[in-house]
Amino acid sequence: MPETATTEIIHKGNTMKIAFATQDMKRVDAHFGWAKQIAIYEIGPEGYHLLEAIAFDGDLQEDGNEDKLSPKLEAISDCAILYVAAIGGSGAARVVAKNIHPVKVGQPEAIEDILAKLRVVLQGTPPPWLRKAMLKGRERQMSFED
């Protein structure tokens, strides 16, 4: 992990949690339902850090077994974004229903690279989908003033 990413203070007001489906804790390289591990990071414009690594066991590759998704959905319930190598239609629907934005990577990608890119985006003007994801868990504040 880059030195600056771990040593800087993250201010809670503009951070979010991001989950990564992973087999090796280094890359996004797992189908959501089959993932042996999920890494959860907190990220903001000032930096990022690993919050939790959650391991899953059992028959993770049993297609059609929706029960295997429940513990994963619970584990990522307060995350704003989920990065996966693949996700089934039912799994994607259940993730979206929890107001989590699923992102599928085209090929295995280093978690650190994704976090570094996101951090740069957060330092500027994030796209609308990312701004919406950042609001997860916060009260909506509407302003009718000019």
Which range of residues forms the domain containing residue 40?
17-134
Measure CA 3 to chain center.
Answer: 22
Domain annotation covers residue 140: no
Is residue 1 pLDDT above 50, yes or no?
Answer: no
**Beta-ladder partners of 84:** 104
Of 45, 44, 47, nearest to 17 by C-alpha is 44
Q: Domain tally for the chain?
A: 1
Q: How far is CA 30 from the centre of its chain?
A: 13
CATH number of the domain encompassing residue 76? 3.30.420.130
pTM for the whole thing?
Answer: 0.81
Please name the helix (run of DSSP H) or strand (run of DSSP E) that holds residue 47, with its range, or none.
Answer: strand 47-55
Q: What tens digit of pLDDT does each residue of 39-66 get?
A: 999 998 889 999 999 998 865 555 555 5
Question: Token match 């307060």: residue?
Answer: 78
pLDDT score, position 3? 33
Residue 5, domain member (yes or no): no
